[in-house]
Amino acid sequence: MKKSEVNEIRKQFDHDRCTISRICGCYIDGEKSIKTVFTDSFLTLPEEETFKYFEIFKKTLSGTVGKNLLDIDFPRDDSFENSQNDFLIQLKNSELRDDKLNMRLYEEVIKSFNYAGNYLVLLVYMAYDVPGISNDNLTLEDASDEVYKCVLCSICPVELSKAGLSYQPDENKISHRKQDWVVGMPLNGFLFPAFNERSADVNSILYYSKNPKVLQDELIENLLGCEAPLTAELQKDVFTDIIAETLGDDCDYETVRSINEKLGQMVEESKEELRPPTIDVAELKSVLVESGVSGEKIESLDQKCSENQELAKRELHLSNLVNTRSFEVSTPSISIKVDPDSTHLLETKLVDGRKSIVIPITDEVEVNGVPVKI
């Protein structure tokens, strides 16, 4: 899903636009025991409650696409039939009115969600009448071709509020505040089906993780039946390892700068694509060739991929590999950040017999914000 499509769904979490008809939940304690289960018509809830729920739902669709928000495709092989994908389709089609299907989801979360404390699993069903879009990008509210029906799941921590003092208006005094269990913002969640090209895509799911470094792999694999993707951090590590090992002694500043520049161009050229741009090994090889990497080094990458088929089929999000806002050169004690359009100004030279990074300067130089003369 593009960010604009995510935002379009988020906008429905508002009293004036709300298309949520049903909400269900299951409260689970730290011993993985179900404490209570509930189901309600969402529109009959008190307004002060729905405001709080809207905050949770919006948070479940927040963050950076490719890091916190991940498009995950369901596997398409012999095991695809009667898989978790079929279960989620049934759950969505039931409009959350089938208690057995709801309970199955709760139980599978309990089995797979790795969390030590209490938490709340929230499910909502919504039916959004998708407005048409004119050729000049204007919304046509009265021209709809589809009703997008989906289920949003949010898994929220429930923590005991901190002890403290508070004002008690009935007694008109300051006294000890009673502690209670408070529902926090979601740790993980998903939207099914994905809203790709502004239409329901039952072959894909949008997954949310508050911490992009911890995706809850078991939850993705067991509840959703999908292969857990690499975290943004691991994608960066895989990429840097590939570059360093492939280039070897040829891994110099100019080559890496060129690779970074070409990846940045790919990001800019892909801004209007359906999904955040990715790069596979074949595309990476093309970038290396264009950056002047020798055929011998390219062959070493081919050899590495033939030995590691898992690596060969990986797609990496470009936004996790290259920073289009800043280019950084660092040593153990010094870090230099440069505008990506000015990387050509940095040079590596021998100065007085020492390997140096040379930066041309003008009369406009500041040190900690103070203008200095050079």
Give, rounded to a whole angstrom, the gap between the first and last alpha carbons of the chain.
50
pLDDT, position 364 = 81
Taking Cα atoms as reference points, which of 318, 209, 239, 321 lies closest to residue 273? 318
Cα–Cα distances in Å, from 119 out to 30, 123, 158, 185, 343? 8, 13, 5, 11, 48
Q: Show pLDDT as tens, one digit a residue, over the chain (374 residues).
A: 888 899 999 999 998 889 999 999 999 999 999 999 999 999 899 999 999 999 999 999 999 888 899 988 888 765 444 478 899 999 999 999 999 999 999 999 999 999 999 999 999 999 999 987 766 665 666 666 789 999 999 999 999 888 888 888 888 888 887 878 899 999 999 999 999 988 999 999 999 999 998 899 999 988 888 888 888 888 888 888 888 888 888 788 888 888 888 888 888 777 666 567 788 777 888 888 888 888 788 777 777 776 665 555 667 788 888 888 888 888 888 888 888 888 888 888 888 888 888 888 777 888 888 888 87
| pLDDT at residue 313, as a whole number | 62
Q: Give the domain ranges of the chain.
A: 3-228, 230-324, 325-374
Distance CA 292, CA 231 (A): 30
Helices and strands in the chain: count of H runs, count of E runs? 11, 20
pLDDT given at position 311? 58
SS3 340: helix
DSSP letters, 4-57, are HHHHHHHTTSSTTT--EEEEEEEEE-TTS-EEEEEEEEGGGS-HHHHHHHHHHH
Helices (H), the chain: 3-10, 47-60, 84-93, 99-112, 217-218, 232-247, 253-269, 281-290, 295-307, 309-312, 318-321
pLDDT score of 80: 43
244, 255 Cβ separation under 8 angstroms:
no
